[in-house]
């Protein structure tokens, strides 16, 4: 049967893909009917709360919970000791997750969980926390990445460093990565000018609106249910099962609607505690983090310290580039410095390039992913130096980037030779856009920057069920954090040749589908989309088979066109085409239900590039920055639902604006976080922003049947750099420390003026 | 026999070389041979790697075919947000 389309981008003129249908979750979300993490309740439900360390670094000498357990209404208390039985069987990464969820022998940061209670009410739970007596031995702490690398810095872990770290470094230095090719010394010798600078960026939080929340219920037979706000409920199931010593099959996890994640919900925090409390209490336990807990105890991104050196000819050709990147990833190994080191120069075709990344631990919360983890800080440093060189040579920054842009056939700085990529197309789109030639006034500056992200696919499993009324139910296992249900409906409808509103997509629980990787890596429209297309084609094969049997001809003699089974040609016979609905209506009598299914390890995600253009105005008196214009140019491969793609572009830009201008974890001398709330941790709000303009560039990804590239992460890579270049131009001083808050800008202006 | 590029900080564990020649017809064999012939690579292989084959990056795909002239690049295991 001729239905095995090759992965051929010319398969059809799209009818539904590329349109902007109404989102299927829209009404629920604007009417309040959508159920988020905290919206689920259960009979007999208890409230869980966490006792958190007030110290940045302290040895836990003892925990006495007797008084709390004796308080009427308290049904369970758990501490690190409750997880002791499973510790020895965990690998290093999983052990770190456990210790982050519940401290064992040391509290490693302000806000680190040391005990949890389940009680009949919030009031009782809070009272119980006050009755838990923790005897701490306060230890010296370290917060800054450069300070943590010093030989005399307080040490968090005695044996966390791996074999990549040379002897003689602080024990807080836990990983070293090196990438590159060519001979940088030779390349620098060929340069007409070299600029070398150090940059620092502070930790920023993803700032998702919905705090972490879950409802756990474990029965006396060990069977458990977990309702949770997460980017990956299969990850939650496997992690929690490991941390509680359960079989994965005994834990069914259902993902709630999600009020933002951006990478921050790709791990667990309260979920194992809720399950442990439920197991101990024998009742369901609901846990909801406060905003303060979200800031203190979930995963912001790394803060960083980066040295970049670039050599350039007076014509604008980069001859050599090097970078040394130091990221602190909180109290555990795993900062995304390798991705920073790999991506720093990935947008450019550089013959001689070298980056070194250092992963460092410090007394801060364990970092979590944040859109393109590790890349925005690296791009900030690199693009700032390129900008400075352009200014010194009086070269057009866009032309210089085009001259050096990575293209198909370029060997990237991380070793991979690119296939079809769209960086140059985004630069050309920027040049053609009116924004690039718009007039600027006094104290205003324009910044341009490029960004790269890898994207990936991963394990994916979907089921597509054809209902007897001609509608289709699609089950996916990837939580919808950016409109994927709409995109999946479009791709299924496109393949099947039916209307968009005939398909409904749901995010199925962990018992309903095979394992699905987390919704991250900009992977869902690519990977779940690819799986959806394949599942639809699987269903089409079966639909054609049913038609063949009704017609009494071979299956190979039936084709599927625009929603109908048809005889393949004159030799196949003359039959009236049968629609999906007609075949489905009689499916009970032709062989039973019709369904398509796919399990795939999706690869070929295709790299993604973007160019951002931003104009800003700096008030030299106050140091306040106003963003005047912002335009995103990004390669989406193929935009399935352009409105969602534009939303991803805009969202990345806005989060980048916050990271660049205001967002910052501020600690006191005591190592305690001083701004754990949205009043003091300033994310951009609508009144801070201009309309973010977007241009979707489409250079199809050959690894996807429709050419899709992920778009969720790349959009946060260029903003820090583009805004820094804009502000540096407006303020007439190079800004080397993010965020560029008013005090920092004022200080930089004053220092530049010699005041 | 295929050639695999490794990243810089693994060179020391591979005798100072940045390109290694191993007998492997697919990714599973590649990882097995690398671990066997260069035991000091084993800790990183155990922590996880990605493998790029002719520009396409694989995280877990043991049976992906490798050709003599394929560009094969070992990378840290990719993740995202």
Same domain, A524 and A494: yes
* C-alpha span between A187 and A348 (Å, rounded): 15
Instruction: Report the CATH number that the domain containing residue B55 is assigned in CATH.
Output: 3.10.20.30
Nearest to A601 among B40, B56, B61 (CB): B61
- At A645-702, the pLDDT tens digits run 999 999 999 999 999 999 999 999 999 999 999 999 999 999 999 999 999 999 999 9
Task: Say whether residue B67 is in contact with chain A using an 8 A CB cutoff.
Answer: no
User: Binning pLDDT at 50, 70 and 90, where does residue A732 land?
Assistant: very high
Distance of alpha carbon A361 from alpha carbon A378, whole angstroms: 19
Query: Within 10 A of A401 (CB to CB), how many other CB atoms are there?
Result: 26
Residues A611 and A677 in one domain: yes
| A439/A488 same-domain check | no
CB contact under 8 A, A454 and B80: yes
- Matching residue, tokens 């009818």: A15
B78 CB neighbours in chain A (<8 A) are: 339, 454, 456, 521
Model ipTM value: 0.97
The answer to whether residue A733 sits within a structural domain is: yes
Examine residue A279 and state whether it is found in any structural domain, yes or no. Answer: no
- Whole-number Å distance between alpha carbons of A595 and A211: 37
B73 and A CB contact within 8 Å: yes
**Per-residue model confidence as pLDDT tens digits over A503-531:** 999 999 999 999 999 999 999 999 999 99
pLDDT of the residue at A12? 62
Contacts of A101 (CB under 8 A, 6+ apart): A113, A243, A268, A269, A270, A272, A273
Does residue A415 sit at the B interface (CB-CB below 8 Å)? yes
Secondary structure (DSSP) of A53-100: -SSSSEEEEEEE-HHHHHSTTEEEEEEGGGGHHHHTTS-HHHHHHHHH
In a domain, B54, yes or no: yes
Shortest Cα–Cα distance, B81 to chain A (Å): 4
Residues of B in contact with A601 (CB under 8 A): 58-61
Q: Say whether both A462 and A594 belong to one domain.
A: yes
- What distance in Å separates the CA atoms of residue A617 and residue A627, rounded to the nearest whole number? 7
Classified as helix, coil or strand, A189 is helix
- The verdict on residue B9 lying in a domain is yes
A447 touches chain B (CB under 8 A): no
Please give the Cα distance from A363 to A677 (Å, whole number). 20
Domain count of chain A?
2
Q: Does residue A1 carry a pLDDT above 90?
A: no
Same domain, A729 and A754: yes
| A535 and A634 within one domain | no
* Pairwise CA distance, residues A715 & A717, whole Å: 6
Question: Are A584 and A634 in the same domain?
Answer: no
Torsion A501-A503-A505-A509 (CA) sign: positive
Which of B7, B40, B71 shows the shortest C-beta gap to A178?
Answer: B7
Classify residue A451: in a domain, yes or no. Answer: yes
Work out the end-to-end distance of chain B between its first and last CA atoms, rounded to an integer number of angstroms: 36
* Partner residue facing B81 (CB), from A93, A176, A371: A371
Q: Tell how far CA B6 is from the center of its chain.
A: 7
Q: Does A7 touch chain B (CB under 8 A)?
A: no
Q: Mean pLDDT throughout B59-78?
A: 95
Find the closest chain A residue to B56 by CA distance. Answer: A604
Query: Both A646 and A711 in a single domain?
Result: yes
Cα dihedral across residues A543, A549, A553, A556: positive or negative: positive
Q: Which CATH number is A560's domain given? A: 3.30.365.10
The boundaries of the domain holding residue B65 are 2-76
Asked if residues A76 and A117 have their Cβ atoms less than 8 Å apart, the reply is: yes
Q: Is residue B81 part of a domain?
A: no
A159 in B contact zone (CB under 8 Å): no
Which residue, A585, A602, A619, sits at the end of a domain?
A602
Give the count of beta carbons closer than 10 Å to the beta carbon of residue B16.
Answer: 7
Residue in the block written with tokens 């990882």: B31
In a domain, A512, yes or no: yes
- What is the number of structural domains in chain B? 1
Do the Cβ atoms of A197 and A387 come closer than 8 Å?
no
In a domain, A446, yes or no: yes
Q: Is A169 on the interface with B (CB under 8 A)?
A: no
Q: Are A466 and A561 members of one domain?
A: yes
Q: Is residue A617 part of a domain?
A: yes
Provide the shortest C-alpha distance from residue B22 to chain A (in Å): 18
Q: Do B71 and A605 touch (CB under 8 A)?
A: no
Instruction: Please list, in sequence order, all residues whose beta carbon lies within 8 angstroms of the beta carbon of residue A159, skipping any fewer than 6 positions away.
Output: A171
A342 contacts on B by Cβ (under 8 Å): 75-76
Q: Are residues A569 and A553 in the same domain?
A: yes
d(Cα A659, Cα A655) in Å, to the nearest integer?
6
A177 inside 8 A of chain B by CB: yes
Q: Is residue B53 part of a domain?
A: yes
Task: Estimate to the nearest angstrom the gap between the alpha carbon of A220 and the chain centroid.
Answer: 37
Point out the domain boundary residue: A582, A602, A622: A602
Residue A665 lies in a domain: yes
The token duo for A528 is: 């779940």
Could you identify the residue written with the tokens 């060997």? A411
**Residue-number span of the structural domain to which A735 is assigned:** 431-455+606-755
Which of A177, A262, A342 has its CB closest to that of B81? A262
State pLDDT tens for residues A285-336: 999 999 999 999 999 999 999 999 999 999 999 999 999 999 999 999 999 9
Last residue within a domain, chosen from A602, A624, A659: A602
A572 pLDDT above the threshold of 90: no
Give, for A391, the enclosing helix (H) or strand (E). helix A375-393
Residues A661 and A691 in one domain: yes
Residues A660 and A619 in one domain: yes
A327 in contact with B, Cβ within 8 Å: no
In a domain, B56, yes or no: yes
Q: Is residue A466 part of a domain?
A: yes
């Amino acid at each position: 049967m001729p239905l095995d389309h090759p992965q051929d981008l010319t398969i059809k003129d799209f009818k539904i893909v590329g349109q902007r249908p109404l989102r299927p979750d829209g009404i629920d979300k604007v009417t309040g009917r959508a159920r988020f993490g905290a919206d689920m309740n259960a009979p007999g439900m208890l409230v869980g709360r966490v006792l958190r360390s007030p110290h940045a670094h302290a040895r836990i000498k003892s925990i006495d919970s007797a008084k709390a357990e004796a308080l009427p209404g308290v049904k369970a208390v758990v501490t690190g000791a409750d997880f002791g039985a499973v510790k020895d069987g965990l690998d290093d990464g999983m052990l770190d997750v456990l210790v982050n969820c519940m401290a064992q022998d040391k509290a490693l940061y302000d806000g680190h969980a040391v005990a949890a209670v389940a009680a009949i009410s919030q009031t009782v739970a809070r009272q119980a926390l006050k009755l838990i007596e923790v005897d701490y031995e306060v230890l010296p702490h370290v917060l800054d990445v450069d300070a943590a690398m010093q030989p005399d810095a307080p040490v968090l872990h005695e044996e966390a460093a791996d074999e990549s770290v040379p002897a003689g470094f602080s024990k807080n230095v836990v990983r070293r990565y090196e990438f590159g090719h060519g001979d940088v010394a030779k390349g620098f010798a060929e340069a007409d000018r070299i600029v070398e600078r150090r940059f620092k960026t502070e930790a920023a939080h993803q700032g998702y609106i919905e705090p972490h929340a879950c409802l756990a219920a474990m029965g006396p037979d060990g069977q458990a249910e977990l309702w949770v706000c997460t980017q990956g409920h299969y990850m939650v199931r496997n992690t929690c099962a490991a941390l509680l010593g359960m079989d994965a099959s005994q834990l069914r996890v259902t993902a709630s609607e999600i009020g933002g994640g951006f990478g921050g919900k790709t791990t667990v925090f309260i979920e194992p505690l809720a399950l442990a409390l439920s197991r101990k209490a024998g009742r369901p336990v609901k846990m909801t983090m406060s905003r303060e807990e979200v800031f203190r105890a979930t995963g912001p991104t790394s803060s960083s310290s980066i040295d970049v050196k670039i050599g350039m000819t007076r014509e604008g050709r980069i001859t050599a580039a090097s970078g040394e990147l130091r990221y602190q990833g909180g109290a555990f190994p795993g900062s995304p410095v390798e991705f920073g080191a790999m991506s720093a120069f990935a947008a450019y075709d550089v013959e001689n390039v070298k980056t070194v990344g250092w992963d460092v631990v410090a007394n801060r919360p364990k970092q979590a992913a944040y859109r393109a983890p590790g890349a925005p800080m690296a791009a900030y440093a690199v693009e700032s130096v390129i900008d400075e060189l352009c200014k010194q040579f009086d070269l057009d920054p866009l032309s210089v980037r085009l001259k050096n842009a990575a293209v198909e056939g370029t060997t990237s700085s991380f070793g991979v030779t690119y296939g079809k990529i769209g960086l140059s197309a985004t630069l050309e789109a920027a040049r053609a856009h009116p924004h690039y030639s718009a007039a600027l006034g006094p104290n205003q500056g324009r910044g341009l920057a490029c960004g790269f992200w890898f994207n990936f696919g991963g394990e994916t499993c979907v089921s597509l069920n054809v209902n007897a009324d001609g509608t289709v139910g699609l089950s996916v296992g990837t939580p919808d954090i950016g409109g994927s249900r709409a995109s999946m409906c479009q791709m299924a409808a496109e393949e099947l040749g039916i209307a968009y509103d005939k398909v409904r997509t749901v995010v199925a629980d962990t018992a309903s589908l095979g394992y699905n990787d987390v919704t991250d890596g900009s992977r869902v429209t690519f990977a779940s989309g690819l799986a959806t297309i394949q599942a639809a084609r699987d269903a089409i094969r079966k639909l054609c088979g049913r038609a063949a049997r009704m017609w009494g001809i071979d299956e190979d003699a039936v084709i599927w066109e625009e929603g109908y089974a048809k005889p393949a040609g004159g030799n196949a016979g003359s039959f009236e085409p049968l629609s999906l609905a007609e075949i489905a209506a009689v499916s009970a009598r032709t062989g039973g239900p019709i369904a398509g299914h796919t399990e795939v390890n999706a690869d070929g995600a295709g790299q993604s590039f973007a160019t951002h253009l931003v104009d800003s105005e700096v008030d030299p008196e106050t140091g306040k920055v106003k963003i005047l214009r912002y335009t995103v140019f990004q390669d989406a491969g193929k935009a399935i639902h352009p409105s969602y793609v534009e939303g991803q572009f805009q969202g990345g830009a806005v989060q980048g604006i916050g990271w660049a201008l205001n967002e910052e974890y501020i600690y006191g001398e005591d190592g305690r976080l001083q701004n754990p709330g949205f009043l003091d941790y300033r994310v951009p709000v609508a009144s801070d922003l201009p309309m973010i303009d977007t241009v979707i560039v489409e250079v199809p990804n050959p690894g996807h049947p429709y050419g899709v590239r992920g778009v969720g992460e790349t959009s946060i890579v260029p903003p820090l750099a583009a805004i820094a270049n804009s502000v540096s131009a407006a303020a007439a001083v190079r800004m080397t420390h993010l965020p560029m808050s008013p005090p920092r800008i004022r200080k930089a202006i004053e220092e530049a003026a010699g005041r | 026999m295929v050639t695999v590029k490794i990243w810089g900080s693994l060179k020391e564990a591979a005798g100072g070389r940045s390109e290694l020649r191993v007998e492997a017809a697919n990714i599973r064999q590649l990882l097995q041979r690398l671990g066997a012939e260069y035991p000091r690579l084993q800790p990183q292989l155990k922590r996880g790697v990605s493998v790029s084959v002719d520009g396409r990056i694989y995280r877990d795909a043991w049976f992906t075919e490798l050709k003599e002239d394929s560009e094969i690049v070992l990378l840290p295991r990719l993740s995202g947000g």
